[in-house]
């Protein structure tokens, strides 16, 4: 449970950095995303999930878990 809370905290840190450092660019990106079909966004989301799972698995396998 501690790892999940840590991961969620890191997600918020990264997202907060985007809003704090480039709010205008982020708004522009969100407007451009409206033109992308839902299916394409869904495929991108599933791909991101897969890549994230592989990264977590590799890190835990290579560096071990504490």
Average pLDDT over residues 17-29: 95
Mean pLDDT of the chain: 92
pLDDT digit string, tens, across residues 30-55: 999 999 999 999 999 999 999 999 99
Closest Cα partner for 11 from 38, 44, 47, 48?
A: 48
- Output the pTM of the full model: 0.72
Average pLDDT over residues 6-33: 94
Residue that is written with structure tokens 């480039």 in the block: 22
What local confidence, expressed as pLDDT, does residue 66 receive? 57
Residues 29, 33: Cα–Cα separation, whole Å: 6
């Amino acid at each position: 449970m501690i790892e999940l809370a840590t991961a969620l905290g890191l997600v918020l840190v990264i997202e907060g950095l985007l809003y704090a450092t480039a709010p205008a660019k982020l708004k522009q990106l969100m407007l451009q995303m409206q033109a992308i079909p839902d299916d394409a966004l869904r495929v991108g989301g599933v791909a991101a999930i897969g890549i994230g799972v592989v990264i977590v698995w590799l890190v835990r396998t290579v560096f071990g878990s504490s």
